Amino acid sequence: MSAPISQKHPKGLYVLFFAEMWERFSYYGMRAILLLFLIDNVRGGMGLNAAEGAAIYGLYTASVYLLTLPGGWMADNVLGQKKAIWYGGIIIMLGHIILAVPGGTGIFFLGLVTVALGTGLLKPNISSIVGELYPEGGARRDAAFSIFYMGINLGSVLGITIVGYLGQKINWHIGFGAAAIGMLLGLVVFKLGSAKYLRGFGDVPPAKISTPESAQQTKSNTTLGYGLIVLLIGFLSVLQWTGTIDMTTATGLAQGAGVIIVSVSSFYFLFILVAGGLTPVEKKRVFVLIVFFLAAALFWSGFEQAGSSLQIFAERHTQRSIGTWEMPSSWFQNFNGSFILIFAPVMASLWIFLSSKGLNPSTPVKFALALILLGIGFFVMEMAAKEAVTGSLVSPLFLTFTYLFHTIGELCLSPVGLSSYTKLAPKRYVSQLMGIWFVAASLGNLIAGLFAGNFDENNVQQMPALFNQVTLFSIGFGLLLLVFWKPVKNWMGGIQ
């Protein structure tokens, strides 16, 4: 992501920019009020306790990213990317329309599942068409992804502002309805724009133009996939049967999802290392990808608390009044997107400047920095929580600084991680490993939800210790990575 972003880009990029902007408007807008709606028992919310609400929040956000695996597969094998985006968008919109109906628990969960399925279909495929617009790769592709990342965050800021306001100040379901309208606008942009500016991209599923060897590969992968599903069902049944996990509760279900995510990713890495036919150099690179996977999962597990524990903290313990007006607590989630819009160009210039001096930090160092910044952000929260446990509302500056540290961390990890996954992955595994990158986000989101389950109203005294745990974990892992950055870099085998 270190290229200047002023070169001329194909108009198709802007079609994808605005389509993704509206999709993220609906995703982040709805997510901003989701947990508040789940635990509200005054304004027509679901009235769940914090543990159940946070488990559902974690399950939902984790599913969104986990479903990018079948979503990518559907596009590659059945639909082609363009149709996957189109149908995905329609399904997302329907999901938000269902959520907009004040119809009780069953209807609500149907809406959530629908949005998650649609997002799994849309999200990975819209990013891969961005890549396809630049077959030569290189700096222009990096620049295109920077522009696209701005679209993501512009959508998130608009969504949180509008959906958050309507949901918190007027009515939850009107908020969800606004998310549906956002997705509708995204569909209109995509339909009109793609017919004109994306002709010839993402029309044919790549598997339909595959070679006999790749068809054979897909067949054996599918068999393996089915085998893994059977094994997992067996394993989960044993866990349920022995009472280790109770999957009839929301928390148990989220723990079950954690078992699935950890098993799928460990199995996948093991599979390509043992049976993937890799050269020794490729094997070393896959080890690096495992290190990056762990670091990313840990990073997202703290970072994605934006919508869980940090949201609860904003709502219950943060001073939000300006005169007689009270800011909706969900608006704090806007600090991330706004800081991205301000700092993404600054960070891009910083990397270019450091490169020109031969000082550009290597990818493992950037990952380590991201984890340390995350930890510093949570240290600020620990300070805030120490004040909050005395019963007073704390200054909004605490959350502001936490989000500032977290956003700079995100800029060290997210775009860099995305591109290093495409570069380090053995050629024939690129799209699968792209999926695994999103699985790290899925695992992080799940942990972010489960962790926030401890933030119950009856458990307020625990808050400083809880934030302290995240600080120690992330700074610890970050320092470990900083100590071992040289061997990790060497294992990258010359890839920057």
Task: List contacts with ligand GLN (CB under 6 A).
Answer: 24, 152, 300, 414, 441
Task: Name the residue nearer to ligand GLN (CB basis): 303 or 491.
Answer: 303
| Structure token digits, residue 347 | 């960070």
402 touches 378 (CB < 8 A): yes
State in angstroms the smallest separation of the CB of 442 from ligand GLN: 8
Q: Give residues with Cβ within 8 angstroms of 423, minimum separation 6.
A: 495, 496
Task: Name the residue nearer to ligand GLN (CB basis): 371 or 441.
Answer: 441
Task: Name the residue nearer to ligand GLN (CB basis): 148 or 429.
Answer: 148
State in angstroms the smallest separation of the CB of 128 from ligand GLN: 13
Grouping H, G, I as helix, E, B as strand and the rest as coil, residue 326 is strand
Nearest-CB residue to ligand GLN? 441
From the centroid of its chain, how far is CA 109?
A: 20
Instruction: List the one residue out of 115, 62, 72 whose CA is nearest residue 300.
Output: 62
State in angstroms the smallest separation of the CB of 419 from ligand GLN: 13
Instruction: List the one residue out of 425, 451, 450 whose CA is nearest residue 437.
Output: 425
State in angstroms the smallest separation of the CB of 149 from ligand GLN: 7
Task: Name the residue nearer to ligand GLN (CB basis): 85 or 394.
Answer: 85
State in angstroms the smallest separation of the CB of 414 from ligand GLN: 5
State in angstroms the smallest separation of the CB of 322 from ligand GLN: 28
| Structure token digits, residue 224 | 């393996």
Task: Name the residue nearer to ligand GLN (CB basis): 24 or 141.
Answer: 24
State in angstroms the smallest separation of the CB of 169 from ligand GLN: 25
DSSP 76: I
| Structure token digits, residue 480 | 């470990």
- Enumerate the β-bridge partners of residue 205: none
Instruction: List the one residue out of 92, 126, 136 whose CA is nearest residue 111.
Output: 92
State in angstroms the smallest separation of the CB of 330 from ligand GLN: 16
Cα–Cα distance, 35 to 32 (Å, whole number): 8
State in angstroms the smallest separation of the CB of 123 from ligand GLN: 7
- Amino acid in position 227: G
Instruction: List the one residue out of 320, 333, 389 whose CA is nearest residue 31.
Output: 333
Task: Name the residue nearer to ligand GLN (CB basis): 438 or 477.
Answer: 438
| Structure token digits, residue 104 | 């009780």
Task: Name the residue nearer to ligand GLN (CB basis): 245 or 434.
Answer: 434
Task: Name the residue nearer to ligand GLN (CB basis): 23 or 76.
Answer: 23
36 touches 329 (CB < 8 A): yes
Grouping H, G, I as helix, E, B as strand and the rest as coil, residue 243 is coil
Cα–Cα distance, 321 to 34 (Å, whole number): 22
Strands (E) located in 216-351:
321-322, 325-326
Task: Name the residue nearer to ligand GLN (CB basis): 39 or 163.
Answer: 163
Instruction: List the one residue out of 162, 198, 203, 200 whose CA is nearest residue 179.
Output: 162
Strands (E) located in 246-312:
none
Task: Kindly report the backbone phi and psi dihedral angles of residue 126, in degrees, each rounded to the nearest multiple of 5, phi listed first.
Answer: -70, -40
